[in-house]
Structure 1
Amino acid sequence: MVRIGVTGRMGSGKSTVARRFQEKGATLVDGDTLGWEVLRLPDVREAIAASMGPDVIDRGGQVDRARLGRVVFRDPGAMERLNGIVQPVLLRRVREVLEAPGQGVLVLDAAVLPAWRLEPELDGVIEVVASEDTRVRRIRAARGFTDQEARERIQGQKLPPIRGARRQWRIENEGDRAELNRRADAIWEEIESLGRSGESGSPA
């Protein structure tokens, strides 16, 4: 199996690229979905409530995503505490998925992939980038945020550079969806060739 990571900051279009690969036949693993599954684990939920306060827990006893987001994106210390609680559990789950045997192409869609330092464990990493103004516009349109809220989310997302990737691609996404799809499709052809040639560094 060929294992590819897709990363990029909020509003860059990384998930659009990942879904494009899914349309082409890849198995898509959404890092955000795995993350929210981890938040539902009782031990994790209790640790978050103890660290962030009871207000981030809703009436049903689950983590309130909107409230938690408002807390951590405005407070770097809170984000660090949250990562300390969630990241070890989440990384174990991600590695379980990556190490499972399979065929074809597996795509991991994860903004924080560089922070996880998973690059050497993948066959390649794609970084999707866009200017801050472009990302603000997209975030406002998609989530209904104000300009200030969108910029706070962007500024709160601190990510290290990609390091140690076996292969690396970069997509600049300032255009429309059709242009992004064309660029993604060109990379997809290269990814498919890795599987055909047996150049994948991951076990089948």
Structure 2
Amino acid sequence: MKVIGILGGIASGKSTVAGLFRQRGAVVADADQMGHEVLRDEATKREIREIFGSEVFQDNGEVDRRRLAAKVFGGDDLSHKRLAELEKITHPRIKTRLHALIRSTQSDPSGAPPALIMDAALLVKAGWSDICDNLVFIDTPYPERLKYAAQRGWSEAEFNAREAAQEKLEDKRVLSDYIIRNDGDLEQLDAQVEQYWRDCVLSPTT
């Protein structure tokens, strides 16, 4: 079983590509979803409350992700410091979940799938790329990514602040083993995923 990490900018279509791999039989590790699960963990919430206070919590005791994001994606030095503190809390817990999913998938009694896809925005920054056998970069033009981000309800300022908190796109591109261009329609994107699947996942020589 190959472990394949998906790289790309914010709103580049990483989850869409992961879904296309899933259609071909891959298991997808959604680190964003794991991050949401981590934020519901009582130990995590205690640490977040100690650092950020009660203002980033809802009345029901759950973390208000919108308020927390406003604290860590401000673009200034204090925000950068807060983001680093938050990542120290969440990243190790997410990595534990990733490793657990990989182990359980590999040991599945019905047989391991051809690939496990890691859909994680901070794959390189968090050090999770070391888990991967291959890294695939999703190359999507900035205007398209901005449009997709707007569909999530993000302003351009929010988009740029979050982008600035990640590695530079060119650094991700250089680290990648394969590039998929997301500048056409879904059919074109699917054709590239199929090509990679045949050449790099199913081929016995890779």
Tell whether the structures are fold-level matches, with TM greater than 0.5: yes
Secondary structure of the residue aligned to 1:12 is: coil
Matches within 5 A, 1:38-57: 38-57=38-57
Moved over 6 A (4+): none
Counterpart CA distance in 1 for 2:125 and 2:12 is 17
**CA distance change for structure 1 residues 65 and 19 in 2, over 3 Å: closer, same or farther?**
same
Matches within 5 A, 1:1-204: 1-74=1-74, 75-100=79-104, 101-102=107-108, 103-104=112-113, 105-140=115-150, 142-158=151-167, 161-162=171-172, 168-194=177-203, 197=204, 199=206
Secondary structure of the residue aligned to 2:61 is: coil
Shift of residue 149 of structure 1? 2.6
Shift of residue 14 of structure 1? 0.8
Secondary structure of the residue aligned to 2:18 is: helix
Moved more, 180-189 or 55-64: 180-189
Give the root-mean-square deviation of aligned CA atoms.
Answer: 2.3
Shift of residue 93 of structure 1? 1.7
Cα pair 2:38 2:90 within 8 Å, conserved:
yes
**CA distance change for structure 1 residues 198 and 35 in 2, over 3 Å: closer, same or farther?**
farther
Aligned to 1:202: none
- TM-score, normalised by the number of residues in structure 2: 0.84
Q: Which amino acid aligns with 2:70?
A: R
Cα pair 2:8 2:172 within 8 Å, conserved:
no
5+ long unaligned stretches in structure 2? none
Q: Which amino acid aligns with 1:135?
A: R
**CA distance change for structure 1 residues 163 and 138 in 2, over 3 Å: closer, same or farther?**
closer
Counterpart CA distance in 1 for 2:138 and 2:174 is 17
5+ long unaligned stretches in structure 1? 200-204
